[in-house]
Structure 1
């Protein structure tokens, strides 16, 4: 114990520096993720708001070409009708998971006026500096 006593101050300073650097790196990573995913919740809420306002064509046109190749406009209309998307009251958004620099996935729960919850997964991509819905999965 007496052997470590003269070095105690240096050990404490080293541990404090390691903790400080770890916290700084964590803050930096959080800031980068927040900057890269900025706008995703707004795109999803705008998409659902267009559906609620019965602007189905605008909602469909706000998606990517990949979305259009997977779901035709009539299929999209049927999906909205079958799942009662027009009765949504609010959404509960998860944390976006970045897949690549221009692609992210976000788990969302659509809560209807009846209280029923519909779990959704959105894949969004950045095109021309704005996010667009690329894929919609319903659990």
Structure 2
């Protein structure tokens, strides 16, 4: 009887391989779901920035067409810097190409650009 007591006293309680594998699968599933949530949040943030940048460029275009913004001017708003460039189009004296770029100063990248062609006023040519 003493030998049986010694054997049971030395026996360690542990998990079986199947229990460990089940726990591992559960942890990996939870981790995968968490990564998907973080990924969706990041994509939504990029989408929001892109939409805001497009709206910002459209506002600059409207200001330019109403003569509220000068040619070849730089404008900064928060972390966005806008640069406008104008150039004449070869073969079309009555048209001009206007390019507006939006830069992100935090990441040092061009977020978006807006290029349009407008008629040249006679007052602009003088």
TM class by smaller structure: 0.3 to 0.5
TM-score (structure 2 length as normaliser): 0.44
Give the number of the structure with larger relative contact order, counting CA–CA contacts within 8 Å between residues 6 or more apart. Answer: 1
> Under a length normalisation based on structure 1, what TM-score does the superposition of the two structures give?
0.41
